[in-house]
Amino acid sequence: MTFKDRPVLGVIACNRTVEAQSAQAVMNRYLESALKYADAAALLVPALPELMHAKEIAPRLDGILLTGTPSNLDPKRYGQIIDNAPGPFDPSRDEMTAHLIEAMLDLGKPVFGICRGFQELNVAFGGTLRRDMAEHPDLIAHHAPSEKTFVEYFEHLHPVELIEGGVLERAYQSETLDVVSVHYQGVDTLGAGLAVEATAPDGVIEAVSANVNGGQVLAVQWHPEWKVDENPQSQTFFKLLGKALRREPLVAS
């Protein structure tokens, strides 16, 4: 591979257990999607807030990607004290991403999110989450039944409506998309300053955007990284990330 002077994307890691040992982990599908379609280099950001601070690394990154992961945000992060809230939890990731979002936006640098990352951004902007997205009778199923296999989870699709005039509607030149939906939690109260970019048929918010100090925020509840090579619409999300890293307009005005 020849050297290219590409922007550097920070990708948040999660605390996972690998062969009975603690590890920092990111699924390759997020990295491969971003490096290929955003045309960026990447550095992993460990979720170890007791050993490093986001302000140490934010000036060295051109943007960050907050990935999906099996863990849920602790409800205490958005002001709800609940004894039986469903886990698993990763409090160190909660802490690191909260500081990382703040540090990057203070510098006017882009922050993109997928699934948990979408939820983290909503909470960072003062929003709250609900935890009943899979089986609530008034909602469509946002997650496949729990007895399904991992691959079957990611075969679970539903449509979203793109908000007219939004970043995604203009980028996709479409009113709707079919998206991979794998989440139990989602937006309850929208964070202040976030614009809705897409909604599910039941009205649940599925994508948001903002611009803070010139830094682009864009996050989706669905999973564009899943089988991205087979889906040009998913590739578009990461191409938007590439434009944001280069401080280019995401869509033509």
Structure tokens at 221: 């509840």
Q: Is the peptide bond before 201 cis (omega within 30 degrees of 0)?
A: no
Q: Is residue 3 part of a domain?
A: no
Q: Is residue 23 part of a domain?
A: yes
Q: Is residue 1 part of a domain?
A: no
Report d(CA 45, CA 67) in Å as an integer.
11
| Residue-level pLDDT at 140 | 80
Bridge partners (DSSP) listed for residue 205: 199
Alpha carbon separation from 48 to 21, 23, 123, 179 (Å, rounded)? 15, 11, 20, 32
| Residue-level pLDDT at 1 | 63
A 10 A CB-CB count for 120 gives 26
Q: Is residue 250 part of a domain?
A: no
pLDDT tens digit at each of 253 positions of the chain: 666 799 999 999 999 999 999 999 999 999 999 999 999 999 999 999 999 999 999 999 999 999 999 999 999 999 887 766 677 899 999 999 999 999 999 999 999 999 999 999 999 999 999 887 767 777 788 887 777 887 777 888 899 999 999 999 999 999 999 998 888 789 999 999 999 999 999 999 999 999 999 999 999 999 999 999 999 999 999 999 999 999 999 997 7
Range of the domain at 224: 8-245
Q: Is residue 88 part of a domain?
A: yes
Q: Is residue 2 part of a domain?
A: no
Nearest residue to 124 via CA among 97, 150, 149: 97
Report d(CA 222, CA 168) in Å as an integer.
13
Taking the chain, what is the end-to-end CA distance rounded to the nearest angstrom? 35
Active-site residues, by number, are 115, 223, 225
Domain at 147, CATH number: 3.40.50.880
Q: Is residue 251 part of a domain?
A: no
Q: Is residue 252 part of a domain?
A: no
Q: Which residue has the tokens 């709250």?
A: 128
**What's the domain count of the chain?**
1
